[in-house]
A and B are shown apart, each in its own frame.
Chain A
Amino acid sequence: MASERPGPSTYPGRPAISPFTAAPQTTMPFLSSGLVVGSEGSGYRANTPAGFNGPSMSSPPSAYASPNLGTYQRFPGPASTQLISSANGPPTGQPVLLPPVLPSTGQHVLAPPGSFHPQPQIPSVPMGQPPQSLNLQPPRGSFPSSPLESSFIAPRPASQSSLHGYPTRQANLVSQVPPVQSPPFLAHQGGYVSPPPLAAPVGLSSREQMQHTGGGPPVGGIQNLVEEFQSLSVGSAPGSIDPGLDFKALPRPLDGDVAPSSLANMYPLNCHLRYLRLTTSAIPNSQSLLSRWHFPLGVVIHPLAKAPDGEEVPIVNFGPTGIIRCRRCRTYVNPYVTFTDGGRKWRCNICSLLNDVPGEYFAHLDATGRRIDIDQRPELTKGSVEFVAPTEYMVRPPMPPLYFFLIDVSISAVRSGMLEIVAKTIKSSLDELPGFPRTQIGFLTFDSMLHFYNLKSSLSQPQMMVVSDLDDIFVPLPDDLLVNLSESRNVVDVFLDSLPSMFQENLNVESAFGPALKAAFMVMSQLGGKLLIFQSTLPSLGIGRLKLRGDDPRAYGTDKEYAIRIPEDPLYKQMAADFSKFQIGVNVYAFSDNYTDIASLGTLAKYTGGQVYYYPGFQSSIHGEKLKYELTRDLTRETAWEAVMRIRCGKGVRFTTYHGHFMLRSTDLLALPAVDCDKAFAMQLSLEDTLLTTQTLYFQVALLYTSSSGERRIRVHTAAAPVVTDLGEMYRQADTGAIISLFSRLAIEKTLSYKLEDARNFIQQRIVKALREYRNLYAVQHRLGGRMIYPESLQFLLLYGLALYKSVPLRGGYADAQLDERCAAGYTMMTLPVAALLKLLYPRLIRIDEYLQNASMKIDDFGKFSKSLPLAMQSLDSRGLYIYDDGFRFILWFGKMLSSDIAVNLLGMDLSTFPDPSKVSLSERDNEMSKKLIGILKRFRESNPYYYQLPQLLRQGEQPREAFLLFANLLEDQSCGTSGYVDWMLQLHRQIQQSA
């Protein structure tokens, strides 16, 4: 087993050469103790945390520098004389972490008088960091990071794993576990740790016994056992009446999404985390281990994520050689394959089959077994590459980029101004449509009839053909409905110019959406492409007409509840399947403020890799900018056409479920008619074999697509992850962002077949189970009593769980979100990449009035100056101006007492005298302050380019908008029947404890 633990898991350098000579020894003893020890893994992990680079900078010195420390008093109370006789020398790395950090608050009792006194050497404890205020993310590797006031202690016993303070545990470890470490954090927690009754003596004896009998050379020496978890004391402090938590001390992801870097350090050849994120970078080696990890095990893939300049994915063209792939498992050549036999063979890293190297690809190996041409081969040095695919990868010639617009021209579309904005935006984007000069384009408008447009290049005016027979739809022209944009550019321009005026007087209220969809399908089925649907009323005529089944408050809470969130008419699913089959991707833009049945319309996007944009109550004067930006982005962003995606992984593991917008074409092949750089997909893994024997598991995502330039390409991302035997390691390596992303998708899918409440409970239960499991790993050893513990990697998970609980698709019941909004948000969250999702779940709240007023601060300083605030009412000060940014909109909150010159400068009027702030629009004015604000907004938008954030102004005390827009989103507060952050923690804690 020791050997199974891949060296890499510990140290950044891949090779298993551990910096600690003693390490191997340590591992052995642990082995037989198996999982009982829980934290054994921590032994090696010494420097995963960024802080630890050297073998043992921090804690051990304390132990070693003072081998004769003798004993420390760790527990107040009579029984607590745990003395460690260090007769044997160093081994008892007893990290007495706390002394230097002793908080001044009197509560942390350290070594009560009368017991053993810490020896003078103690102060040499290196990790004595100055107590850090209430920063909850203790810098990894620092010790008792933050002795926060009383309640929140993050005793990251970072230094030492601890198992041994505890008699019961020790009993079976005695002979095996040399490195004696003690639970480090206890001292300063005085009151919270229940004093170990009687335990100490036993512990003592067993420890001595251990030292004497265990005999082996004390290995704990250099080892720097780092154990990372944080804990939160939840009220059960003896004698404490206040059950509360320190609100300020709770962990908050104020820095947004921070991807864990340990895996990237361990396997530098992996593709970047922006493309692929594992929910935990440590794969369990057995099913039983997996079953104890209660989070989903899987990956979140963002195959076309935008890379910053200079890091673009290299394009590799093998030319006539053909793409090098494994014969058996079809894996693409990647940095983890190994060349043998003088370079004539290569071994597949996924199925370990020995393949021949084709003659043209042959290169000699150097003394270390590396190919001599490795520097010229990006596919062997980079985790992400793009292969140019030869004709074998084509079923038909690569299709041209094709855009077909299906536009509702009924009265509401015209009145709201949607039609005009859409026409203008399309026209302005024509020059930037990808794939010039092959791009094809076509239009179809509909109300109670269908209007086709002949855009033939020889015409000077587009010809309109009206089809009013909705029962038997036919396409009036065989071709020329779809035309080459560069040839027919003039006609298209004329058409788009005249489109708004053509229907200016239209009074038709009907919508023959279903027939129009069929017609669009007939037009497009030859080539495939992207279908953009602009719909502003409920489909009312012909096939696919939908009822105002609406939002029935009585349905909520019953078993029938889910039915309102799934498509009403099976036609939509059927159409979606057909679209997918013919390589048509659908994006739905919905505009009505009345019920439009997004649940049904969105289905079209769901199975075709599309996306749903929803603009409730669209008015061009207000939402025009947003629509314009988002439509432009949709039209001009990097798009992959007629794509399929497959993810391969090593033996013994299989991807079982897939979550996102796509259609499964076979058990593991995702069909994506049109996929772009804003879509992410999630999938879950399961173990097929009961025991994995490999040390490393490889994943390879391959996206085969046609680029806009008409080239068939394969984008391949390869990643490796260590296989571990230890549950603690899995939790330590967990990635909150990926877990939350998977959770949100699972929960949203659950709302389609169960009640909202069930979906919420599902999340809560999973979190509780996982933390309970984690607690069982450590609580006993650390005597955590009433404390809540969680790994540092998951410190924000609880908050994100709460955010998910309150997110639009899952929150409350009938009254808490409109059905359409709920469904639209659900569809959106199913495609969002991790960072954007986290931003949506825990938005930024920033105070900006000081910055605006201070003339000396420039926009570049803003990043340093501004600080995200907790999302709670108490962050708001009535003298301030705040921006709330969730990636989809900005809310500017003007405090009541905000000095009026800010409002005047920004808006040109005093907000307090203006009757309706919702009508005020924000535009750049000719003064410093306004320019600064616009600068900030611009900067924020750049950080989240997927959507356009429309600024909404809000004045303090302006009900009900304030409650609805902002307060409902301050998720740390209690609001209408949902718990706040503190309650949520207490609630979880209670549940965790129930059967812990």
Chain B
Amino acid sequence: MDWSILSWLLSFFILIALIGIIIFQLMCLADLEFDYINPYDSARRINSVVLPEFGTLGALCFLFLISGHWFMFILCLPYLYYNARMYMRRQHLVDVTEIFNMLNWEKKQRLVKLVYLIVLVFFTIFWMIWSVLDEDT
């Protein structure tokens, strides 16, 4: 087993985890919108996974960096930068008092992230297959 394939595989799973986190947040927001849970619980649940999300993404970038996948690393950078900026501005957490006013924005932001991650997943799969084939030949 090649190091390269292993790294692709690892990053694939990390990506899936990220997607899972984002979908979880989206579900919380949707539940809130349809009044299944109250804003306090919704905000608490979302906020509890925001930092793990950021950390996981950081780990992914780091993985790309040390495994030398420059292209993927650069692809991840905007997302990382965005997260870092939100964190610096202390806007990364959902504000329970304004959650309803921000609902659309929060959802949109997470949907964009989701699409972004899915694109990354496709790239990763592509590279993974590529490196498998590469190894065979």
Residues of A whose CB lies within 8 Å of any CB of B are: 570, 573-574, 576-577, 581, 607, 657, 663-667
Contacts and interface: CB of A to CB of B under 8 A. Distances in A.
A729 to B, nearest CB: 31
A573 B47 CA distance: 15
Contact residues on B (Cβ < 8 Å of other chain), bracket: 10 to 19
A577 B97 contact: yes
B94 to A, nearest CB: 11
Interface centre among B32, B40, B103 (most CB of A within 10 A): B40
Interface of B: 32-33, 35, 38-40, 90, 93, 95-97, 99-101, 103
Nearest to A607: B97
B97 to A, nearest CB: 5
A576 B97 contact: yes
Contact of A665 (B39, B90, B101, B103): B39
A577 B40 contact: yes
A560 to B, nearest CB: 11
A574 B96 contact: yes
Nearest to A657: B101
Nearest to B99: A664
B38 A665 contact: yes
A607 B97 CA distance: 7
A574 B38 CA distance: 15
Contacts of B35: 666-667
B100 A667 contact: yes
Nearest to A608: B97
A960 to B, nearest CB: 40
A178 B125 CA distance: 72
Contacts of A666: 32, 35, 38-39, 100
20 contacts: A570-B90, A570-B93, A573-B95, A573-B96, A574-B96, A576-B97, A577-B39, A577-B96, A581-B40, A663-B97, A664-B39, A664-B101, A665-B38, A665-B39, A666-B32, A666-B100, A667-B33, A667-B35, A667-B100, A667-B103
Given A577-B97, A665-B39, 8 more contacts: A573-B96, A574-B96, A577-B39, A607-B97, A664-B101, A665-B38, A666-B38, A667-B33
A573 B101 CA distance: 15
Nearest to A577: B96
Nearest to A752: B98
A314 B124 CA distance: 69
Contacts of B100: 664, 666-667
Contacts of B32: 666
A370 B98 CA distance: 46
A581 to B, nearest CB: 6
Contacts of A663: 97
A554 B64 CA distance: 43
Contacts of A574: 96
A665 B42 CA distance: 11
Task: Return the 3 tightest CB-CB contacts between A and B, nearest first.
Answer: A664-B100, A666-B35, A577-B96
A574 B39 CA distance: 12
A339 to B, nearest CB: 32
Most chain A CB within 10 A, of B33, B35, B39, B99, is at: B39
B122 to A, nearest CB: 35
Nearest to B89: A563
A657 B100 CA distance: 9
Contacts of A667: 33, 35, 100, 103
A667 B103 CA distance: 10
Contacts of A576: 97
Contacts of A665: 38-39
A581 B101 CA distance: 18
A573 B40 CA distance: 12
A674 B116 CA distance: 45
A663 B40 CA distance: 11
A666 B35 CA distance: 6
Contacts of A607: 97
Contacts of B99: 664
B35 to A, nearest CB: 4
B90 to A, nearest CB: 7
A573 B38 CA distance: 17
Nearest to A580: B97
Residue among A570, A573, A581, A666 with the most chain B CB within 10 A? A666
Contacts of B101: 657, 664
Nearest to A570: B90
A30 B96 CA distance: 51
Nearest to A573: B97
A573 B100 CA distance: 15
Contacts of A577: 39-40, 96-97
A663 B96 CA distance: 9
Nearest to B98: A573
A573 B99 CA distance: 12
Contacts of B97: 573, 576-577, 607, 663
Contacts of B90: 570
A370 B61 CA distance: 73
A235 B101 CA distance: 44
Nearest to B43: A577
A667 B42 CA distance: 13
Nearest to B38: A665
A434 B40 CA distance: 31
A665 B33 CA distance: 11
A663 B101 CA distance: 11
A577 B32 CA distance: 16
User: In the complex, which of the residues B38, B90, B103 has the most CB atoms of chain A within 10 Å of its own CB atom?
Assistant: B38
A666 B100 CA distance: 8
A577 B41 CA distance: 12
Contacts of B93: 570
Contacts of B40: 577, 581
A657 B102 CA distance: 11
A657 B40 CA distance: 19
Contacts of B39: 577, 664-666
Nearest to B100: A664
A105 to B, nearest CB: 54
A274 to B, nearest CB: 28
Contacts of B103: 667
Nearest to B103: A667
